[in-house]
Each structure stands twice: as structure tokens, then as C-alpha cells.
């Protein structure tokens, strides 16, 4: 991590470890938003901006690696893709991945979002127009 300096009474390595602990490791830190970082005591705007920039570079690098992969032909690739795109959200998302016959990603469309408790059969009817729009997009 590129923190350069620690805080008063906390060396830089201890600060880095405390960030990893707070966000449950690298995956959690990668999913953290600038607002999440703002809740960490002692991280001023400059440090938050630096960390956010490094995290965004990491996200883009992972996204590029996934885009260069030939296909979504195993569950680990799909899981990594979904974590990268949905992992930082504070709510649940029902999304559809559209794949071609070689299992290459054509598009990902979010049909609706919310929580499992708020999804009902009546609400599912509302998902048909976005689904039709998503299908028109890929055809």
C-alpha cells in the first residue's frame, strides 16, 4: 500500500495493517469506497485520495485481465468478475450476464436492486421491461 507515512502514534506499517484488518483484507479494501475510507480515523483527504487512486488502478487492472480472458468458462472467472463489479455495492443486485456461444461476455445488465426481503412476485413483473431492453441491446 502507498501510505508513505503513518499517523501520530501509529507507524505506517501498523496503519496499513489496521486498514487491512478493518476491511477484512485486500478484497474488502478493494471494494471500499472513498466514503468508507472517510470513516477511518486519521485518514485525511490527501491519504484517502491516494488510497482511492491506488484501489481504482487495481480495479482497472483486474478488469483488463478479465477482459483479456478468452471466456467466462469457469466459476472462478465469473466470481472474480462479479466481485469486481458488484462487490463494493451496499445493496443486493440481481444482474444477468449475457454470453455468446463461446462464453465470452457480451454485456452485464442490472435488472433490479434492493434486498431479498423487498423482492416480491409483484416486483418481479417490473423487471420485464429492463430485461427486454437488455435483450434488444445484445441482439
pLDDT of residue 139: 63
> What angle do helix axes 45-68 and 75-86 make, rounded to 10 degrees?
150
Neighbours of 73 (CB within 10 A): 12
Q: What is the mean pLDDT of residues 2-29?
A: 83
Query: Which domains does the chain show, CATH number per domain?
Result: 1-68 (1.10.150), 71-139 (no CATH)
Calpha distance 70→100 (Å, rounded): 11
Calpha distance 116→119 (Å, rounded): 5
pLDDT at 55 over 50: yes
Calpha distance 72→105 (Å, rounded): 7
pLDDT of residue 32: 80
Written as nine digits, the cell of 138 is: 445484445
For the question of whether the overall pTM of this predicted structure is more than 0.75, the answer is: no
Written as nine digits, the cell of 106 is: 457480451
pLDDT digits (tens, 9 = 90+) for 117-139: 665 433 455 556 666 666 676 66
Amino acid at each position: 500500500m502507498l501510505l508513505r507515512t503513518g499517523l501520530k502514534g501509529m507507524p505506517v506499517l501498523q496503519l496499513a495493517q489496521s486498514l487491512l484488518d478493518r476491511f477484512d483484507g485486500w478484497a474488502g479494501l478493494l471494494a471500499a469506497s472513498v466514503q468508507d475510507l472517510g470513516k477511518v480515523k486519521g485518514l485525511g483527504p490527501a491519504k484517502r485520495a491516494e488510497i482511492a487512486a491506488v484501489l481504482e488502478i487495481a480495479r482497472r487492472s483486474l478488469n483488463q485481465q478479465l477482459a483479456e480472458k478468452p471466456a467466462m468458462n469457469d466459476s472462478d472467472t465469473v466470481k472474480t468478475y462479479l466481485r469486481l463489479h458488484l462487490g463494493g455495492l451496499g445493496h443486493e443486485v440481481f444482474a444477468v450476464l449475457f454470453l455468446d456461444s463461446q462464453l465470452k461476455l457480451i454485456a452485464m445488465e442490472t435488472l433490479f436492486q434492493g434486498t431479498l426481503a423487498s423482492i416480491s412476485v409483484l416486483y418481479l413483473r417490473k423487471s420485464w421491461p429492463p430485461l427486454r431492453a437488455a435483450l434488444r441491446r445484445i441482439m
